[in-house]
Amino acid sequence: MSPDRPRGTPSRADYLRTWSSLHGEVPTTGLVGWWLTFTYALARPLAVLRISPHLVTILGLDVAALAWPLAATGPAGRLFAALAVVASGVIDNLDGALAVLTRRVTRWGYVLDSLCDRLADACYGAALWAAGAPGGVCLAAVGLSWLQEYARARAGATGMTRIGGVTVAERPTRVLITAMFLVGAGLFPQRGSIWVWLGAFAWLAVGAIGLLQTLVILHRELTEPGERHLPVLSADAEDPDGTVDIRENGRTPSRDPVRGRDPAGDRDPVPGRRRPPRRGPST
């Protein structure tokens, strides 16, 4: 064990390996590896203190929410809003790293983190709007980011486990665009409205490209040879248990879904043939 690593804390290599497996075997090299190493260094002291990852997730959303009112208070407020956006982005990575380091990766944590990320995206768009950007453009930009993540979520529900690729509109890009143009609006107040307008339209353009990239990636991953098809009922589908109603395909079920027999009682499912009468219990 490394002398500078707290006892019981996974090593950096273990963390990178676990992170990659949780994100569809994404390579942890280059800029991604550098960022994960930075996040690991920040999360390690929190892991020693056994801080809850859920608490960090909520904290990240709270910090993101501060950007909205700060951006409406003038040039200095826009600078503080940019700082809040960057801080929330860093905290957003901390909760996942902390969950891995404390071995508390849960399905509920995944859902909570995704929900808070979408709300934080809305706060970023609201900050640009509060600083003077057109509301419709901000709303459309946030909507595109939500659509991108929703498409991925639906692909995951079909059984897709790999991310397949990284687009130009990932969350760090949204954080960077929002913070950069808020800083410009704060440093150059005479043209502050131009800066936030450019920021909103930049997010919109990048979001459109990112959504298109995501759909192309998902189409490739979900239609590759040997894909697993979802079960779909057809007009000729058989129903051995008599429990599925396929009348939506224009047919009446041949058996009662409750009793497992012909709904007409004595009529045989084969047309033109009568079923023998049932005999009562012997006495």
- Please report whether residue 257 resides in a domain: no
Q: Kindly report the CA angle at 111 between 108 and 115, in degrees rounded to 5?
A: 140
Whether 264 is covered by a domain: the verdict is no
pLDDT digits (tens, 9 = 90+) for 206-239: 999 999 999 999 999 888 765 555 555 444 444 4
E strand intervals along 17-98: none
Sole residue written with tokens 């800029």: 31
Which residues have CB under 8 Å from 57's CB, separation 6+?
A: 92, 95, 109, 112, 113, 116
Pick 148 or 103 by higher pLDDT: 148
**65 occurs within a structural domain:** yes
Beta bridge partners of 190: none
On whether residue 122 sits in a domain, the answer given is yes
- Residue 104 CA to its chain's centroid (Å): 19
What CATH number is attached to the domain comprising 57?
A: 1.20.120.1760
Tell me the residue range of the domain where 104 lies.
12-222
Report if residue 67 sits inside a domain.
yes
User: Residue type for 190, please?
Assistant: Q
* pTM recorded for the entire structure: 0.76
Categorize the per-residue pLDDT at 123 as very low, low, confident or very high, splitting at 50, 70 and 90. Answer: very high
The pLDDT of residue 258: 44
Which pLDDT band holds residue 56 (cuts at 50, 70, 90)?
very high
Rounded Cα–Cα distance for residues 13 and 223 (Å): 34
Residue 255 domain-assigned? Answer: no
Active site residue 262: no
Read off the tokens for 102: 């404390």
| Angle at the Cα of 258 from the Cα atoms of 257 and 261, rounded to 5 degrees | 70
pLDDT of residue 223: 87
211: which 2 tokens? 């959504």
Q: Supply the pLDDT for residue 257.
A: 44
Q: State residue 30's pLDDT score.
A: 80
Q: Is 274 exposed, middle or buried (0-12, 13-18, 19+ CB in 10 A)?
A: exposed
Tokens (6 digits) for 120: 């934080």
Number of domains in the chain: 1
End-to-end CA distance of the chain: 81
Mean pLDDT check: name the lowest of 81-90, 156-165, 170-179. 156-165
Residues in contact with 165: Cβ distance below 8 Å, sequence separation at least 6, in sequence order: 213, 217
User: Which one from 92, 113, 117, 121 is the annotated catalytic residue?
Assistant: 117
Q: Is residue 232 part of a domain?
A: no
Handedness of CA 131, 132, 136, 138 (dihedral sign): negative
Cα separations in angstroms, 132 against 174, 190, 202, 241: 18, 12, 15, 62
Within 8 A by CB and 6+ apart from 276, the residues are none
Is 279 a domain residue? no
